[in-house]
Structure 1
Amino acid sequence: MTKKYSKFLPTSEDFNLEHFPYYWVTQVHAQYVQNVDHVLKKYGLDNSRRRILLALKSKPNASVSDLSEMVVSKMSTTTKIVYRLKDEKLVNTYSCEDDARITRVILTEEGEKMFYKINDLTNVVLEQSFEGLTPLQIEKMMECLKHIFKNLAH
């Protein structure tokens, strides 16, 4: 291990949890999910289902596999969420014409309406989370997170 990263790693002798970057990544994510879940309660939804609706809005007719990759979730978990959303009449599923093994998912009209309702609520959480930061700071943070993701993904 190189010394240049040692203060950030739990293996160092003088390790402090607050210097571990992934501590903050998980803390921010957990707090964000908690806040989002709280505001989504109004509509009987949670962050997991919101993420699928959001993914479908950005990629209509996505396969369950596509959705699983987009929301970084196990295929079995994504399938359960999709069928729960289907029971709630927010999405529909159909077999792909080219390959019947592939299940595609689309937002229903009710799902589209819900997407816009919950986006208004979750935007409040997003704005709260970015308070005190400039757009440039947010862009820089996203660049860093994307870079770290690419490092981890290969």
Structure 2
Amino acid sequence: MSKKYSKFLPSADQYDIEQFPYYWVTQVHAQYVQNVDQALKKYGLDNSRRRILLALRSKAHASVSDLSDMVVSKMSTTTKIVYRLKDEGLVETYSCDDDARITRVVLTEKGNEMTNKINDLTSVVLEQSFDGLTPLQIEKMMESLRHIFNNLAR
């Protein structure tokens, strides 16, 4: 193991969990999800359904497989969430013309309206989370996280 990163890794001799970068990644994510879930209760939604709706907003007519990749979720979990959203009237599904095995998903008008409401609610959480940081600091953080993700995805 490289000594270059040893201060950030758990070791038998000396271990401070707050020096482990992924501790903070998971802490931030968990707190964000908790805050978002609390805000979404107003509309009877949760973070899982929010993620699918917002993914569809960025990629209309995505396949369930595409959505699964976008939200980093198992295909079976994504499928369950999509059909729950369908039952709630927020999305519609249809078979792909080219390959009937592929299910495509599209937001309904109600789903589009819900994504607007979601964005209004979560913008408050976003502002809270970035208080005291400059836009440049946020961009640098995102650049670093993207770099780490790409390293892990190789």
Alignment CA distance shift 1:93-1:120 (3 Å): same
What do you get for the CA RMSD once the two structures are aligned? 0.6
Structure-2 separation of matches of 1:13 and 1:2: 16
Counterpart position of 1:18: 18
Tell me whether 1:58 sits opposite 2:38 in the alignment.
Answer: no
Q: Secondary structure at the match of 1:104?
A: strand
Counterpart position of 1:4: 4
Name the aligned partner's letter for residue 143 of structure 1.
E
Counterpart position of 1:29: 29
Alignment of 1:36-51 (within 5 A): 36-51=36-51
Q: Secondary structure at the match of 1:35?
A: helix
Counterpart position of 1:76: 76
Alpha-carbon displacement from aligned partner over 1:19-71 (angstroms, at most 9, x marks no partner): 00000000000000000000000000001000000000000000000000000
Alignment check: 8 A CA contact 1:93 1:103 kept:
yes
> How far off its partner does 1:11 sit?
2.7
Identity percentage over the alignment?
Answer: 81
> How far off its partner does 1:15 sit?
1.6
Counterpart position of 2:116: 116
Structure-1 separation of matches of 2:89 and 2:95: 17
Counterpart position of 2:143: 143
| Large movers: runs of 4+ above 3 Å | none
Structure-1 separation of matches of 2:145 and 2:104: 30
- Count of aligned positions: 154
Alignment check: 8 A CA contact 1:53 1:107 kept:
yes
Q: Secondary structure at the match of 1:92?
A: strand
Structure-1 separation of matches of 2:152 and 2:15: 22
Structure 2, unmatched stretches of 5+, are: none
> How far off its partner does 1:12 sit?
5.2
